[in-house]
Structure 1
Amino acid sequence: MTNDDGIESPGLAVLADVAAGAGLDVVVAAPDRQYSGASASVTAVQEQGRTVTEERPPLAEAPAHAVRAAPAHIVVVALHGWLDPPPELVLSGINRGANVGRAVLHSGTVGAALTAGLQGARGLAVSLDVPLGSTEPEDWDAVRGHVEQLLPLLRDSAAGSTFSLNVPDRPAGEHRELRSAPLDPEGSVRTLVEESGVDGVLLREVGTDRPPEPDTDRALLAEGHPTLTALGGLCEVAPPVLPGAGAAR
Structure 2
Amino acid sequence: MRLLLVNDDGIDAIGIQALAKEFEKDYELVIVAPEGQRSAASHSITLSKPILVKKLDIPGIESKAYSISGSPADCVRVALDKLVEEPVDVVLSGINLGLNIGTDVLYSGTVSAAIEGNLYKIPSMAFSCEMGKEPNCFETAAKHAKSIFEKVKEDLIKNNIVLNVNFPCIKEEDIKGIKVCKIGGIVYDYYFVENKNGEDEITLAIEGRHKEEKEEETDRFYLKEGYITVTPLHYDLTNYELMKKVKNWL
TM over 0.5: yes
Q: Which residue of 2 aligns with 1:29?
A: 32
Counterpart code for 1:142: T
Partner of 2:22: 18
Shift in Å, 1:160? 2.8
How far, CA to CA, are the matches of 1:32 and 1:145 in structure 2? 25
CA contact (8 A) 1:124 1:154 kept: no
Equivalences for 1:89-238 in 2 at 5 Å? 89-131=90-132, 137=135, 139-152=137-150, 153-157=152-156, 158-187=158-187, 189-195=188-194, 197=196, 198-208=201-211, 210-237=212-239, 238=242
Q: 2:57 maps to which residue?
A: 57
**Is the 8 Å Cα contact of residues 195 and 202 (structure 1) preserved in structure 2?**
yes
Residues 95, 142 of structure 2: 8 Å contact kept? no
SS at 1:140's partner residue?
Answer: helix
How many residues of Structure 1 are paired with residues of Structure 2 in the alignment? Answer: 236
Separation in 1 of the partners of 2:124 and 2:159? 9
Q: What one-letter code is carried by the residue in structure 1 that aligns with 2:184?
A: D
- d(CA) in 2 for partners of 1:203 and 1:102? 17
Please list the CA deviations of residues 127-173 of structure 1 after superposition, one character each: whole Å capped at 9, or x if unmatched. Answer: 11115xx7x74621121332122222134313531011111101111
In the superposition, the TM-score normalised over structure 1's length comes to 0.87
The amino acid of 2:11's aligned partner reads I
The DSSP-based 3-state class of the residue aligned with 2:28 is: coil
Q: Which runs of 5+ in 1 are unaligned?
A: none
2:42 matches 1:39: yes
Equivalent-residue separation in structure 1 for 2:57 and 2:47 (angstroms): 22
Write out per-residue CA displacement over residues 63-108 of structure 1, whole angstroms, 9 at most, x where no aligned residue.
Answer: 1111101011111222234311132211111111111012211100
TM value normalised by structure 2 = 0.86
Closer, same or farther: CA 222–199 of 1 in aligned 2, 3 Å: same
CA shift, 1:244, in A, is 6.6
Distance 1:9 1:244, change over 3 A: closer
Q: Report the structure, 1 or 2, having the larger helix content.
A: 2
Supply the distance in 2 between the matched residues of 1:235 and 1:244 (Cα, whole angstroms). 20
Tell me the distance in 1 between the aligned counterparts of 2:48 and 2:70: 6
CA distance in structure 2 between the partners assigned to 1:72 and 1:215 by the alignment: 30
Call closer, same or farther: CA 1:14–1:44 in 2, change over 3 Å. farther
Q: Give the percent of matched residue pairs that are identical in Structure 1 and Structure 2.
A: 27
Distance in structure 2 (CA, Å) of the matches to 1:18 and 1:244: 54
| Distance change >3 Å, CA 117–CA 212, structure 1 → 2 | farther
**What is the CA RMSD across the aligned residues, in angstroms?**
2.1
Q: 1:212, 1:218 within 8 Å by CA — same for their partners in 2? A: no
| Structure 2: runs of 5+ lacking an equivalent | none
1:118 positional shift: 1.9
Question: Which region of structure 1 is more displaced relative to structure 2, 163-172 or 192-201?
Answer: 192-201
